[in-house]
A and B are shown apart, each in its own frame.
Chain A
């Protein structure tokens, strides 16, 4: 009860039960209902990474109760069911029209507990996962090359059983329904869903390798930054430094790498999940050339030089951008947390963020508190934070086709 009261004080419209990581957020003015289910994962062994990718892909074919076409038909127009694997979680997202709460919850519960995972679904997932990403930028975000040949269906079924347990699962239902209804139905549908001991297999397939070339007409270069945790005392400093370095057109990346040096058209700093925190990633996309291998170091040197010349203008700009994007949804969002792209302000992403921050940091997502912490960062700390992000970052290049 105390936990429930605490949750109500922090987020008056949300009702949370402690046992099942379930939160409902009724919003009368919405015309849709979204159900976001996150399954927390862990730092997979290299050979497990391949298996979990196929598992998530295969879930797209639905469950014993809901086939893929049925799920599409049941979904609100423009809101296809999503199944996304990120380094720290699996996201299952379903959005339905107002009045279809039961359908939305039914689909999610069925997918969490009883995905089809037949051979046809697995083969389709392997075929899809074997294709390179649509764009060079997407390739850069997920540069692993997997070998799926040794995967067996029973391994995926076991992995599903191991991962998809109530204690690992965070669910938020947000949108147009009466208070209490979502929780009531969730409890009814999951009353027999209990955590259980499942042995984890040790071998799932070959470890992935890192891509270094592609057939795209674009080269990507990256500085893959150190791991940072939301519980770190200097997390706000590093987040603000990320904004100063690469978020917005007044950032170091845009001013220096693009405008001054004409090295790229697209360049960004993003915060990418890791199994136990986040990585600051600084990426640029450029026309392939003989100088590709040197791009990350060139980027590092240019950014380091710019950091040394930062003034209060850069601090103010970073804070302005962070405030606008975190609180108001104005400007680019570097938080690539939910589906491999920037978090949006639509209903599914709002619900996702609520579930995600509970899972990641054990608390309610409150951008006002976060921005207050960002306001306390001074210029010297900002510079130190920026240097800590880029000076030890690992260089990566995926060379495109010249």
Chain B
């Protein structure tokens, strides 16, 4: 109790359109809660920012392996226990953060937050467990969808090693040891990297109190700076194992105007062309907006071939769809907790409203500029190697 009171910082951020609050703890961690009174479920998420452990060729995929090992829980029976109560946990590793999500009913908030506590304990693993999990990861590599493969290729073509995906390779994973996993965990799960993000029909106080109890006792080191991803370069190439084609438009941070313009243009494109996909992960860093299709090998040509009138004809629908995409997510427990937590673990003041504001204010000229980012010569073009 005393530890919790000492760690309590006055709430420094609240929302307007969306009812959310953030509490920052002395150890650098934070709890964010968005109230959604009409929702029927809660989403309780833990984010560990990749500050200090970003992907390099030498460590490629180690974070992903750590996620797999952590997800089993302290006694390796986590899923079996929580599923009996009707809770369901998923895990993901992104370039900027690792995420655990527990979905539950509102009255199960305490149980759901307790689940996150399993991931705040250093995992005890043997070499045998690591090797077995690496075999499972090899299976996962084989199952990647064409859209994922096209996107990964676009990132490495456009950003080089700074664009490495978190999946990894068997070669690097074969070098993992219990000691290297423990060391990675300590850095990755430094309290200054941690955010608990909760959304659903609960009050901010309920969520913040429970989250703080979990995070406050943790000790670590001050946050270190992100390694900035340099500007990307347009390129063309293949993704051997993928079908279809895609283009990746370079964007800077999620809150920059041009990012919103490009997202809206991308939505215009996917509305126009059937069987399209759209991929974007919100980041403070330079990134990509990827659009493509697993069924078309000439996706960027189709974009290039649109006249100015045709592309501007997509402005209205692109803007509407982009705004709806983000708003809808912020109005669901899972989407709201994800967006706030993912951005919130990257920087103190990061919030999805910046992107929403830029989308709301989008002008035709801005849309046109965003559209140019999708075209050949500016974007990364990837063609799948499989028919």
Contact = CB atoms under 8 A, between A and B. Distances in A.
B351 interface: no
Interface in B12-35: none
B330 to A, nearest CB: 15
B40 A328 contact: yes
A135 to B, nearest CB: 6
A321 interface: yes
Interface stretch (B84-92, B301-309, B375-383): B84-92
B279 to A, nearest CB: 15
B386 interface: yes
B59 interface: no
A250 B83 contact: yes
Contacts of B358: none
Given A285-B143, A317-B83, A330-B104, A258 B320 contact: no
Given A218-B143, A265-B143, A331 B88 contact: yes
Given A78-B321, A262-B135, A331 B103 contact: yes
A210 B80 CA distance: 36
B324 interface: yes
A285 B144 CA distance: 11
Contacts of A329: 41
Contact of B83 (A248, A258, A287): A248
A249 B80 CA distance: 7
25 contacts: A78-B321, A78-B324, A134-B145, A134-B295, A217-B241, A250-B84, A265-B136, A265-B140, A266-B139, A285-B139, A285-B143, A313-B84, A317-B84, A320-B83, A320-B86, A321-B83, A321-B86, A321-B88, A324-B83, A324-B88, A328-B105, A330-B86, A330-B88, A331-B86, A332-B88
Max chain A Cβ within 10 angstroms of own Cβ: one of B142, B145, B386 = B142
Contact of B386 (A135, A215, A328): A215
A328 B79 contact: no
B281 to A, nearest CB: 19
Interface in B335-387: 386
Given A250-B79, A324-B87, A330-B86, A262 B317 contact: no
Interface string A246-280: 00111000110011001111100000000000000
A218 B86 contact: no
A24 B135 CA distance: 51
A331 to B, nearest CB: 4
Nearest to B267: A77
Contacts of A332: 88
Interface residues of A, number: 40
A110 B364 CA distance: 37
A255 B135 contact: no
Contacts of A218: 142-143
Interface of B: 40-41, 72, 77, 79-81, 83-89, 103-105, 132, 135-140, 142-143, 145-146, 241, 243, 271, 274, 294-295, 317, 320-321, 324, 386
B165 to A, nearest CB: 16
A78 B89 CA distance: 27
Nearest to B38: A29
Interface in A273-322: 285-287, 313-314, 316-317, 319-321
A262 B83 contact: no
A287 B138 contact: yes
A50 interface: no
A323 interface: yes
Contact of B84 (A134, A259, A320, A328): A320
Nearest to B136: A262
Max chain A Cβ within 10 angstroms of own Cβ: one of B79, B81, B87, B295 = B79
List 7 A-B pairs, minimum CB-CB distance, nearest first: A250-B80, A324-B86, A265-B139, A249-B79, A331-B88, A262-B135, A265-B140
Contact of A317 (B80, B142, B324): B80
A258 B243 CA distance: 27
Given A255-B80, A330-B104, A77 B142 contact: no
A321 B89 CA distance: 12
B32 to A, nearest CB: 21
Contacts of A249: 79, 83, 89
Contacts of A317: 80, 83-84
A247 to B, nearest CB: 9
A114 B119 CA distance: 57
B88 A134 contact: no
A250 B274 CA distance: 38
A158 to B, nearest CB: 29
Nearest to A288: B142
Nearest to B320: A77
Given A218-B143, A320-B85, 9 more contacts: A77-B271, A217-B241, A248-B88, A262-B136, A266-B143, A285-B139, A287-B139, A323-B86, A328-B40
Given A134-B243, A328-B86, A217 B142 contact: yes
Interface string A33-64: 00000000000000000000000000000000
A77 B86 contact: no
Contact of B294 (A78, A134, A266): A134
A216 B363 CA distance: 44
Contacts of A266: 139, 143
